[in-house]
Chain A
Amino acid sequence: MPGQSLFQRIAGQIGLYGAVACYVVFALLPIYWTIKISVTPQDLLYSEGIRLWPSRMTLANYASVLKASDFPRYFLNSIIVSVSTAFIVTVVASFAGYALSRFRFRGKALVSLVLLLTQTFPLVMVIPPIYRIMGQLGLTDNLYGLIIIYTAFNIAFATFLMQSFLDGVPKDLEEAAMIDGCTRLDALRRVILPLTLPGMGATVAFVFTAAWSELLFGLMLINSESQKTFSVGLLTFVGKFAVDWGQMMAASVLALIPVCLFFLFLQRYLVTGLTAGAVKG
């Protein structure tokens, strides 16, 4: 900007990059440290406790996690639960978002309000009743139970997301398609769907991440080893073998991989989505 001295400009640049560096270090420190411990050999763990990088590296922790523990099963369970949830939520939320985006009808404001209010429900409030209902339906200690619960909890936000993506497709296009010979459903399939595909991808990624991260319902509903999701498995592992740091860290890094991959894809759409969810109130 004109009117600033060279000194002010340089000081401004230093301040800018300094602040940016602080944020980056703060954001990456825990992740970095987890990775570091995961590749540190057992014998160096305490002696080189606060070194930035161990003097020797090992992948033994990863090998034992993958071969000699239940983590691969947890991992698979989490994948099943998260993928199913993400898929179901996205389909259901697409329809709901379509209704909110394209129709004027009595009760629309009420529906939006109810969806928003479900966002404020204290999870802990519904845990005991859900536990009982799921027990009666035989869905405790069962991945289906988790899928149903995660689906219900993610629908409201996913609906807002899809609504905002659908709002971004001009109504004219749909009308043009209907004049060109489409029924409403044809127009949805041939014109709107291809245009909202990136948005649906973002919704899938978002819900996948949320389902992957859930802990409390998993802890409560799942008991048997064979049904544990990653979060539950890791936490019980921490409780039982609190000293095997390397393996825990290796398992954590493995748990991070799918969400970080999704995050790379999701990042572009985060801004749209979160604003949509936030502004709709």
Chain B
Amino acid sequence: MTALAEDIGLLQRQADRRRFIEPWLYLSPALILIFTVLIVPLIIGISYSFRKFSAFHSEYAGLDQYRAMLGDSVLHGALINTAWWTVASLVLQFFLGLGLALLLNRPFHGRRLVQGLVFLPWAVPIFLTGLTWAWLFNPLIGPLPHIFHAIGLQAEPVTILADPATAMWGPIIANVWFGIPFFAITLLAARKAIPSELYEAAAIDGASPWQQFTKVTLPFLAPTIAITVMLRTVWIATFADLIYVMTAGGPAGSTNTIATYIYVSAFKSLDKGYASAIAVLLLVLLIAYALIVIQMRRTLLRDV
């Protein structure tokens, strides 16, 4: 009897161990890849920020790289550009995306076709997005300068990408074009999840369409909005491809964001240490931002 009891105890322990290990077994390939290709380089990257690199060797530099950032006027310009680039892209993408989502939520002829067409930019590779918009702004082959000139926005049909005052609008417009579908798709899904009885009840209670939008639609969309805006902000603030392809940060640094600055500075000036220090700054800003938005979303979810 005791032998049997021990057997059962052993089996129980084996079963417990199996239950404990099994999910980790399934997760391990993903976690190992993420750990070796993302986390380890990230830590090495952070360690780079405390070193100084020259062509063939590197040395420990303490906080020198961080001190150097304080006096770097290009970086200060890039910070402002990053904020401007992120906020302008995000606001335009969001409102145009919300508008599109609400349009697509209404019945009209050819809606399925329209949905496929307006979501298409999302599938276009970013480097192609950048190139095609750069071409559209090019007066030699693109129509846009001529249109701008014709309606009086520009004195001469020249590319806006060459003028420091207007250059940033090029990547922003391309980014908005590329990003609208993301917001539209997410918000459309969230909008479809709102039960129609709520609108019927609101209509019977005497709510105008505008009141239905602000009292029913917006509160329901708020958690989705918070999380998509967060993901998008982080993504826009860090991604360098579009600007790199269209203007490479120029003219005269007018489209230089932190991301492009790091990319250019890490490879052109060869000082990986300084580039890493700037990246750490960006990372800290973004994580702080993400935590704030997650907290806000929790609060919102509690209230709904």
Residues in A lying within 8 Å of B, measured CB to CB: 16-17, 19-20, 23-24, 26-31, 33-34, 37, 45-46, 49-50, 92-93, 95-96, 98-100, 102-103, 105, 108, 111, 114-115, 117-130, 132-133, 148-149, 151-153, 155-156, 159, 209, 212-213, 215-216, 220, 231, 234-235, 238, 245, 248-249, 252, 255-256, 259-260, 262-264, 266-267, 270-272, 274-275, 277-279, 281
Q: Are B224 and A121 in contact (CB under 8 A)?
A: no
A124-B266, A126-B42 in contact; A279/B240 too (CB < 8 A)? no
Q: Are A99 and B23 in contact (CB under 8 A)?
A: yes
Q: Identify B103's interface contact among A20, A130, A262, CB under 8 A.
A: A20
The 10 tightest CB contacts between A and B, nearest first, are A213-B125, A152-B37, A263-B123, A125-B279, A129-B41, A99-B26, A96-B30, A129-B44, A103-B23, A122-B238
**A-B contacts besides A24-B117, A102-B23, 8 pairs, CB < 8 Å:** A17-B108, A27-B120, A30-B132, A95-B29, A111-B27, A209-B123, A266-B123, A267-B116
B60 interface residue per 8 A CB criterion = no
Q: Are A122 and B279 in contact (CB under 8 A)?
A: yes
Q: How far, in angstroms, from A147 to B186 measured CA to CA in the complex?
A: 29
B135 interface residue per 8 A CB criterion = yes
A-side interface mostly: helix
Q: Are B114 and A215 in contact (CB under 8 A)?
A: no
B218 interface residue per 8 A CB criterion = no
Chain A residues, Cβ within 8 Å of B117: 24, 27-28
Chain A residues, Cβ within 8 Å of B250: none
Q: Identify B48's interface contact among A129, A212, A266, A272, CB under 8 A.
A: A129
Q: How far is the CB of A132 from chain B (nearest CB, A)?
A: 8
Chain A residues, Cβ within 8 Å of B185: 270-271, 274
Q: Are B108 and A124 in contact (CB under 8 A)?
A: no
Q: List 9 A-B contacts (CB under 8 A).
A: A23-B100, A33-B136, A92-B29, A121-B283, A148-B37, A220-B267, A245-B135, A263-B122, A274-B185
Chain B residues, Cβ within 8 Å of A16: 103, 106, 108
Q: How far, in angstroms, from A144 to B190 measured CA to CA in the complex?
A: 39
Q: Are A260 and B141 in contact (CB under 8 A)?
A: no
Q: How far is the CB of B275 from chain A (nearest CB, A)?
A: 7
Q: Identify B37's interface contact among A99, A124, A130, A260, CB under 8 A.
A: A130
A19-B103, A37-B135, A278-B231 in contact; A152/B123 too (CB < 8 A)? no
Residues in B lying within 8 Å of A, measured CB to CB: 20, 22-27, 29-31, 33-34, 36-38, 40-42, 44-45, 48, 99-100, 103, 106, 108, 114-129, 131-133, 135-136, 140-143, 146-147, 177, 180, 182, 185-186, 188-190, 192, 223-224, 227-228, 230-231, 234-235, 238-241, 244-245, 259, 262-263, 266-267, 272, 275-276, 279-280, 282-283, 286-287, 290, 294, 297
Specify the chain A residue showing the minimal Cβ separation from B263: A124
Chain A residues, Cβ within 8 Å of B240: 123-124, 216
Q: Are A123 and B238 in contact (CB under 8 A)?
A: yes
Q: Are A118 and B125 in contact (CB under 8 A)?
A: no
Chain B residues, Cβ within 8 Å of A30: 121, 124, 129, 132-133, 136, 177
Q: Are A128 and B27 in contact (CB under 8 A)?
A: no
Chain B residues, Cβ within 8 Å of A277: 231
Q: How far is the CB of B260 from chain A (nearest CB, A)?
A: 9
Chain A residues, Cβ within 8 Å of B227: 278-279, 281
Chain B residues, Cβ within 8 Å of A120: 231, 234, 238, 286-287, 290
Q: How far is the CB of B222 from chain A (nearest CB, A)?
A: 13
Q: How far, in angstroms, from A108 to B244 measured CA to CA in the complex?
A: 38
Q: How far is the CB of A267 from chain B (nearest CB, A)?
A: 6
Q: How far, in angstroms, from A151 to B244 measured CA to CA in the complex?
A: 23
Q: How far, in angstroms, from A259 to B122 measured CA to CA in the complex?
A: 10
Q: How far is the CB of B17 from chain A (nearest CB, A)?
A: 12
Q: Are B279 and A275 in contact (CB under 8 A)?
A: no
Chain A residues, Cβ within 8 Å of B259: 122-124
Chain A residues, Cβ within 8 Å of B125: 209, 212-213, 215, 231, 255-256, 259
Task: Name, among B22, B36, B141, B143, the residue most crowded by chain A CB atoms within 10 Å (CB to CB).
Answer: B141
Q: Are A124 and B103 in contact (CB under 8 A)?
A: no
Q: Are A122 and B124 in contact (CB under 8 A)?
A: no
Specify the chain B residue showing the minimal Cβ separation from A51: B143
Specify the chain A residue showing the minimal Cβ separation from B119: A267
Q: Identify B263's interface contact among A93, A127, A259, A274, CB under 8 A.
A: A127
Q: Are B135 and A275 in contact (CB under 8 A)?
A: no
Chain A residues, Cβ within 8 Å of B245: 215, 235
Q: How far is the CB of A152 from chain B (nearest CB, A)?
A: 3
Q: Identify A26's interface contact among B33, B177, B224, B267, CB under 8 A.
A: B177
Q: How far, in angstroms, from A20 to B108 measured CA to CA in the complex?
A: 10
Q: How far, in angstroms, from A220 to B263 measured CA to CA in the complex?
A: 10
Q: How far, in angstroms, from A266 to B115 measured CA to CA in the complex?
A: 13
Chain B residues, Cβ within 8 Å of A275: 186, 189-190, 224
Chain B residues, Cβ within 8 Å of A122: 238, 259, 262, 279, 282-283, 286
Task: Name, among B20, B231, B290, the residue most crowded by chain A CB atoms within 10 Å (CB to CB).
Answer: B231
Q: Are A274 and B182 in contact (CB under 8 A)?
A: yes
